[in-house]
Amino acid sequence: MAEYEKTKHVTSSGPVTLADIAKLAGVSPVTVSRAINTPNLVKPKTLEAIERVIAKTGYVPNLLAGGLASRRTRLIAAIVPSVASTIFAETIEGLNAELVSAGYQLLLGLSGYDASRELELTRAILARRPDGIILTGITHLKETRAMLTGAGLPIVEIWDSTPSPLDTAVGFSHAAVGALVADHLLIRGYDRYAQVGANDPRAVQRRDGFVNRLKGIADVELPELEMNSPSTFRDGRLAMAQLLDRGEGTLGVFCSSDVVAHGALAEAHARGCSMPDKLAIVGFGDFDFAPHTHPPLTTVRIDRRDIGTKAASSILQKIEGDKSVDAMINIDFHIVARGTA
């Protein structure tokens, strides 16, 4: 009871300080600092006493305070376009799990596929002095790039491939994905080929890879539909309706996501199209519903969680000064062939 009353007295006059914790625990401020930053170096009984006092007072360490032994905030920031789509949600889960297990916390910012918004978020996040920052994609405004370079922090760009990352990149070639899908459809020899896609940079790369692989072999049709990211089931259905209304002949279609492909599949099913003989549809992402559509959706599978895990591992290594981290860490992808193609 006496210790509780003492704690109440300390906290009633204002925010609890590191010195207050040291006084209540009967140790020096240096020992409290060590318990917060490097608990493995503190004797178990001492650590337990400090943690008990911290729990009772509700003390939150000021990790930017000059009196601490370490200037690390143990905060990693990540900017992603959206959390509404499974495609990024699993990456975030992998990222968070790896960081938490290492004693770090994840600060998440949503850019909404907007480069200007990414710039604003980067400025706000860097002001909070994270230990590292993770960005989605490799396309950034020059102001964003300059700000990140000047910050001197470990940086990991995810979901894309490049020979010249800002620091390290974890991802894959979207153009190569498009080319792989083109080859998959070419083997089946359709009369017409089409691509239904959103307008974000990575979806555009997949479209271009698909179109370039078919260059000189077949023209690629594009629906007359502006499809923003994240694209929807409705987008896919409307786009497929346009393609089917254009003419006869067998048709192979590559969609920028499984959600779009699902919409295209619904329209094709409503019109009684025979798949995959007369019509083929390939998606991207291998979402959890893909094996359960009718017929099951052929798609491109990427280990989305592994992108987050490898990004977290890379940035943690860089924080510790490990210079052996590869500049480009490639993630595998492959086609999962099912009933639609």
**Could you list the pLDDT tens digit for every one of the 341 residues in the chain?**
334 344 444 444 567 888 999 999 999 999 998 998 788 899 999 999 999 998 888 787 765 555 444 567 889 999 999 887 778 999 999 999 999 999 999 999 999 999 999 999 999 998 888 999 999 999 999 999 988 988 889 999 999 999 999 999 999 999 999 999 999 999 999 999 999 998 999 999 999 999 999 999 999 999 998 888 889 999 999 999 999 999 889 999 999 999 999 999 999 999 999 999 999 999 999 999 999 999 999 999 999 999 999 999 999 999 999 999 999 999 999 999 999 99
Q: Which two tokens stand for residue 178?
A: 């498009």
Its sign, for the CA torsion 331, 332, 338, 340, is: positive
Q: Chain centroid to CA 219: how far?
A: 33
Give the residues across from 171 on adjacent strands: 330
At 2 the pLDDT is 38
Phi, psi (deg, nearest 5) at residue 339: -75, -15
CA–CA separation, 166 and 187 (whole Å): 38
Name, in order, each residue with C-beta under 8 angstroms of 108's C-beta and a sequence gap of 6 or more: 77, 78, 79, 80, 83, 92
Its sign, for the CA torsion 273, 276, 280, 285, is: positive
CA–CA separation, 268 and 266 (whole Å): 5
Q: Which two tokens stand for residue 228?
A: 């923003």
pTM beyond 0.95, yes or no = no
Phi, psi (deg, nearest 5) at residue 123: -60, -45
Give the residues across from 279 on adjacent strands: 251
Name, in order, each residue with C-beta under 8 angstroms of 327's C-beta and a sequence gap of 6 or more: 165, 167, 168, 169
At 9 the pLDDT is 45
State which amino acid sits at residue 29.
P
Q: Which two tokens stand for residue 142?
A: 């020059």
At 66 the pLDDT is 52
At 23 the pLDDT is 93
At 72 the pLDDT is 77
- Residue 196, classed as helix, strand or coil, is strand
Listed in sequence order, the DSSP H helices in the chain are 2-12, 18-25, 29-37, 44-57, 86-101, 115-126, 142-151, 174-186, 201-214, 233-246, 258-270, 304-319
At 70 the pLDDT is 55
At 6 the pLDDT is 43
At 62 the pLDDT is 65
At 81 the pLDDT is 93
Its sign, for the CA torsion 229, 233, 236, 239, is: negative
Strands 192-196 and 168-171: what pairing?
unpaired
At 57 the pLDDT is 82
At 84 the pLDDT is 79
At 14 the pLDDT is 65
